Structure 1
Amino acid sequence: MPAPDRTPSAAPAAAPTAHATRVPLAEIDPPLALGPLDGRYRRTVAPLVDHLSEAALNRERVHVEVEWLIHLTSHRVVPGAPELSAEEQAYLRGVVTGFGATDVARLAEIERTTVHDVKAVEYLLKERIAAAPDVLGPGTVLPSVSELVHFCCTSEDVNNLSYALMVRGAVQDVWLPAATGLVDDLATMARDLADVPMLALTHGQPATPTTLGKELAVLAHRLRRQLRRVAGAEFLGKLNGATGTYGAHVVAVPGADWPEVSRTFVEHLGLTWNPLTTQIESHDWQAELYADVARFNRVLHNLATDVWTYISRGVFVQIPVAGATGSSTMPHKVNPIRFENAEANLELSCALLDTLASTLVTSRLQRDLTDSTTQRNIGPAFGHSLLAVDNVRRGLGALSVDRELLERELDQNWEVLGEPVQSAMRAAAVSGVTGMENPYERLKELTRGRRLTADDMREFIAGLGLPEDVAARLTALTPGGYTGLAADLVGYLDD
C-alpha cells in the first residue's frame, strides 16, 4: 500500500483586511442606530422620543425659558418691563409648539460656537424674539424684553425643570398607560381563569392545589401596587440661581419676593417646588421614581419567568404565529421569545434605573457634572422597560390553557390531600375524638415519597374513625377540589 502523500498543502490565502473590503457603516447617511432601541425596536419605543430624546430636552428648555419670560413680565417682577399681550405670549409659546427639525438643526449650529447647550437655547429664543416684528408688526414690545430670556438663571434652573417635565410626560403619557394596559390584561386573565384548578409547586415539588387565576392575580396585585406608587410620584423643580441662594436675583431686583416668584413659577409648570437646593435640584424625586419603576420591572420579571415555566410544563400553550419560525433547524418549535425578550430588557432597564437612582442623589458640594451625562440615559432606561411591557403583553395574548393537562397532574397527585386529612384529624383530636394521635406523622408515613391513588387515600380515611360528617367531607375531596378560597381571592383585584 503506498504511503500517504504528506506534502504540505498551500497555505490558505490571508483574509482581506476589513478596511480594504468593507463599506464603513458609520458613514452611511442617514446614520445607523448604535443601539437596538433606535434600531430594531424603534417602532415600539418611538413614543418616548417625544419626551426623553435630546430634541425633547431642548424643546423643554425652550418651553421653560419662554414660560419664565412670560412669568416675569406677567407678574411685573422686573421694574419697567412691559407686560406682554396675549398675541405676544402666543407667539412665544408657538416657538415651543412649532419646535421641529429646523430648530434642532439651528440649535446644533449655534452650539458648535457656544459649546454650551443651554446657552444655545437662549440664543435661539433671542433670534425668534428678534424676528417677532416681522410676524407681529413693528409695534411689538418683545425685542425690548429680550434680555429677560434666561434672566438670573443658571443652566440648572432650566435643566432641572426641563427634565422634570420630560420625565413626567414620559411616565404619564407613555409608560404608565402601557404598563396599566398590561396589568389590566393580566387581571382579566386572572378573572377568566379564577376557578381553573392547578397543582401548585413549591420548591418545584407538588404542593397544595391552587387555581391558575389566583396565581396570576397575585402578580397582577403586586404590579398594580407599584403602578399606584409610580402614579403618585412627585416631580420636583427649583429656580433659585447658581448656588440656590437667589444671589443674582436679589442684587438685580431687590424689591421682589424671589422665593414666591420661584414657587409660583415652578407650580405654574405643574411641578412641586423645592425650596432648598444647591446649584442643582437634588434629584431625590428621580431616585424615588426610578426605584418604583425598577421594582415594577422586577415583579414583571417574576411574571415572565413564571409564565415561561408554565409554558415549559405545558400549562400554557402558545398560539403559533402564521409564518413565524421558532428554530432555524427544528420546525416544531414555538419558543417563548416574548417572555425571554422581556426578561433581558427588564434586567437592562433595572441596571440603568439603579445606576440613575444611586448616582443622581450625590453631587459634590454645590455641583458636579455626573448628573448631566447620567440623565441623558433616562430614555434608554424607560425604553427597555417599555419594550419589555410590550413583549409580555403580546406574549400573554398568545396563550391558551391546557386544562386536560392540569386535570391529569391533579389526578396523579392524590398525596397532596395529606395536608387537609391531617389537619382534620388535629381538629377532631381537639374536639375529643379518640384515635387521632400523631396525625402529621401518620400522613407523612403514608404519603412521603409515594404516589397515592384515590382508592389509597379513601381507604386510609375510612380507617381513621373520624366523625361521620368529617369522614364524608374528606372522602368526597379530590385534588382538583382542594383549592380553598383561591377562586374567591381573585375578587380582591377589584378593590
Structure 2
Amino acid sequence: MAGNSSVHDQYRNPLAYRYGSKEMTFNFSDTKKFTTWRRLWLYLAKAEKELGLPITDEQIKEMEAHLDDIDYERAAKEEQEIRHDVMAHVRTFAIACPVAAPIIHLGATSCYVGDNTDLIILRDGFDILLPKIARCIDRFARFAREQKDQPTLGFTHLQPAQLTTVGKRACLWVQELLMDEQAISRAHQDLRFRGVKGTTGTQASFLQLFEGDDEKVKKLDALVTEMAGFSKSYLVCGQTYTRKVDVECLNVLASLGATAHKICTDIRLLASMKEVEEPFEKSQVGSSAMPYKRNPMRSERCCALARFLMSLPANALNTAATQWMERTLDDSANRRMSLSESFLSADSCVTLLQNIGEGLVVYPKVIQRHVAQELPFMASENIIMAMVKAGGSRQECHEEIRVLSQAAGNQVKQEGGENDLVDRIKASPYFSPIHHQIDELLDPATFIGRAPQQVEEFLKSEVEPVLSKYTGRLGGEISLTI
C-alpha cells in the first residue's frame, strides 16, 4: 500500500469508535487493563509486606510511582519474544522499577492479574451501565405520565384490540427496564474477587511463602480483596474464576438487549403508523432517494445492536462448558471479544434509548383518526346494552348490529372507504331510542379502563423507589454524534 499507514488502513471495531461511550470504551482499554495489573501487583506487595515478607517501603514507593507510565512498545517487544502477555508486562514493570523488580508478582500466577482485572472491569462496567438504565427508566416514566390519558388502539397479534393509552403502553417498556435494572444489580452484587489463589487455586505457592502459616495466607487473600474494592472473594476456584460468572453477566446484558429491541420495535411500528416518532433533527436526512422520509434510524440502530448483544451469551455458555478440569486456554481469545463487546453493545443500546426517550413525539390527531376507524366495532357491546336499557331485545339488537357491522366492514375493506358504522346506526330507525346517546357511547375515554390510574400507581410504587437509588445521577441529555 502506497503512503504512510493510518488508522483508516486497519479494521476498527465500530463499538469502540462509533457507538460506545468514552467511559465504557475506556473501561475495556489497554490503559485500564494494564494499569490495573500494576495496581494488583502493588496490592499484593503491600499485603505481603504487611504480613511479614521482606518487602521494603522503597520498593512499594517505586511501584506506586510507576503505575501509569507503561512502555507499551517495550511490552510488545517482550511479548513477541516470549509469547506471554503477563510476563511481558512483569518484565516491563520491572525495568521501570529495578528496586522492586525481585518482588513483583511474588507467588502469583498470570490469572492473579488477568482474572482479577476482568472482574474489576466487569464490576466497573455494571457501575457505568446501571445509572444509564436508570436514566432510560426516568425518561420513559416521564413520557408515560405525560401521555397517561391519551387513548390509543391497543394491539394484539398486531391487530386492533381494546383501547389503552400511550402512557400505559410506555409503562410496559419501563417495566422491562426495571427488571433489567434489578437483574444487572443482582449480577453486580454477586460478583466476587478471584483473590490470591495460586496456579490451580490451592494457594500452595503462598503457603510456601509464609512457611505453612494458613492464617497468613487467608489474611493475604482478604487484604488484597479489600484493596481491590470487593467485599468477598470466591472461596474455591481453579486457575481461573469459574466462567459461569461470565455466563451470568452476559445473560443479564443480553436480556437488556431484548428489552431495548422490544421498545424500539414498538416505536418503529408506531412510526410507520405515524402515531409516534423518535427525535428527528432539523437537517437529518431520512433517505438519499426519498427526501420526504423520516426513518426511525435511532430505533433501527438500537435493534441492530441489541440483536448482536443477544447473540453473545452463546460464547460464554460454550466457554464455560468446555473448561476442562482447572482450566484450558481456549477461553482467552474468545473472552477478549465477547466480554467487551457485550458491555459496549449494551452501553450503546441504553445511550440510544435515553436519546429516544428524551425526544419522543406523539401525534394525537393521527391516533384519534385510527381510534375512530376501529372504535365503532368495539362499541357494539355498549350500544347493545344501551338498547336493552331502552327496552330492546339483546338478540334482536345483536343481529341489527351484526348486519350493519358487516356492511361497514365491506365499505372499509372492499371499497377502501371510511368506517361508517356510526352513520349507519344513526340512520337506522331501529336504534332511534338511543340516537341521542351515540356520541357519548363512542367517547374513547370511556374505553381505556383504569389505564391512567394504573400509570400513576405503577410510577409511584414501582418506578420511584428504583430511581431514588440514583438520586443525583439522572441528569444530562444525550446528543448523538452520528
> Considering the TM-score relative to the shorter chain, is it more than 0.5?
yes
Number of the residue aligned with 1:104: 72
Say yes or no: does 1:265 pair with 2:230: no
1:84 aligns with one of 52, 57, 66: 57
**What whole-Å deviation, never above 9, does each CA across 1:253-303 have from its counterpart, x for those lacking one?**
212422343234224322331111111110222211211111011011001
**What whole-Å deviation, never above 9, does each CA across 1:365-414 have from its counterpart, x for those lacking one?**
12111221122112222222222322333334443211111111112222
Q: Kindly indicate whether the alpha-carbon contact (under 8 Å) linking 2:192 and 2:233 is maintained by their aligned counterparts in 1.
A: yes
> Letter of the aligned partner of 1:218 in structure 2?
L
* Greater C-alpha Rg: 1
Q: Kindly indicate whether the alpha-carbon contact (under 8 Å) linking 2:264 and 2:303 is maintained by their aligned counterparts in 1.
A: yes
Say yes or no: does 1:45 pair with 2:45: no
SS for the counterpart of 1:237 is coil
Number of the residue aligned with 1:28: 5
Distance 1:396 1:34, change over 3 A: same
Deviation at 1:314, TM superposition (A): 0.4
SS for the counterpart of 1:278 is coil
- Distance in 1 separating the partners of 2:403 and 2:112: 72
1:200 aligns with one of 126, 149, 154: 154
1:166 aligns with one of 85, 97, 121: 121
**What whole-Å deviation, never above 9, does each CA across 1:162-196 have from its counterpart, x for those lacking one?**
100112112213x2233332232122111111111
Q: Kindly indicate whether the alpha-carbon contact (under 8 Å) linking 1:259 and 1:275 is maintained by their aligned counterparts in 2.
A: no
Q: Kindly indicate whether the alpha-carbon contact (under 8 Å) linking 1:200 and 1:206 is maintained by their aligned counterparts in 2.
A: yes
2:134 aligns with one of 170, 176, 180: 180
Q: Kindly indicate whether the alpha-carbon contact (under 8 Å) linking 1:160 and 1:280 is maintained by their aligned counterparts in 2.
A: yes
1:255 aligns with one of 204, 209, 213: 213
Distance 1:315 1:366, change over 3 A: same
- Distance in 1 separating the partners of 2:325 and 2:136: 42
- Distance in 1 separating the partners of 2:126 and 2:313: 14
SS for the counterpart of 1:200 is strand
Deviation at 1:439, TM superposition (A): 10
Q: Kindly indicate whether the alpha-carbon contact (under 8 Å) linking 1:208 and 1:416 is maintained by their aligned counterparts in 2.
A: no
Across the aligned residues of Structure 1 and Structure 2, the Cα RMSD in angstroms comes to 3.5
Unaligned runs of 5+ in 1: 1-22, 132-142
Distance 1:318 1:68, change over 3 A: closer
Number of the residue aligned with 1:235: 191
Q: Kindly indicate whether the alpha-carbon contact (under 8 Å) linking 2:256 and 2:346 is maintained by their aligned counterparts in 1.
A: no
Number of the residue aligned with 1:315: 275
Deviation at 1:309, TM superposition (A): 0.5
- Distance in 2 separating the partners of 1:290 and 1:441: 57
Distance 1:447 1:265, change over 3 A: farther
Distance 1:268 1:296, change over 3 A: same
2:295 aligns with one of 316, 335, 349: 335
Q: Kindly indicate whether the alpha-carbon contact (under 8 Å) linking 1:288 and 1:357 is maintained by their aligned counterparts in 2.
A: no
Distance 1:463 1:192, change over 3 A: same
1:385 aligns with one of 346, 350, 360: 346
2:66 aligns with one of 95, 99, 106: 95
- Distance in 2 separating the partners of 1:423 and 1:149: 85
**What whole-Å deviation, never above 9, does each CA across 1:91-115 have from its counterpart, x for those lacking one?**
533433xx25x43333223323332
2:94 aligns with one of 120, 126, 137: 126
Deviation at 1:464, TM superposition (A): 13
Deviation at 1:36, TM superposition (A): 4.3
Deviation at 1:122, TM superposition (A): 1.9
Q: Kindly indicate whether the alpha-carbon contact (under 8 Å) linking 2:201 and 2:238 is maintained by their aligned counterparts in 1.
A: yes
Determine what percentage of the aligned residue pairs are the same residue: 18
Say yes or no: does 1:225 pair with 2:184: no
SS for the counterpart of 1:335 is coil
1:400 aligns with one of 357, 361, 375: 361
Deviation at 1:201, TM superposition (A): 1.8
- Please, which moves more after superposition, 213-222 or 283-292? 283-292
Q: Kindly indicate whether the alpha-carbon contact (under 8 Å) linking 2:250 and 2:342 is maintained by their aligned counterparts in 1.
A: no
Q: Kindly indicate whether the alpha-carbon contact (under 8 Å) linking 1:282 and 1:361 is maintained by their aligned counterparts in 2.
A: no
Number of the residue aligned with 1:291: 251
Deviation at 1:155, TM superposition (A): 1.0
Q: Kindly indicate whether the alpha-carbon contact (under 8 Å) linking 1:287 and 1:356 is maintained by their aligned counterparts in 2.
A: yes
- Please, which moves more after superposition, 448-457 or 160-169? 448-457
- Distance in 2 separating the partners of 1:390 and 1:94: 37
- Distance in 1 separating the partners of 2:383 and 2:341: 54
- Distance in 2 separating the partners of 1:440 and 1:104: 82
Larger relative contact order, structure 1 or 2 (CA cutoff 8 Å, min sep 6): 2
- Please, which moves more after superposition, 395-404 or 33-42? 33-42
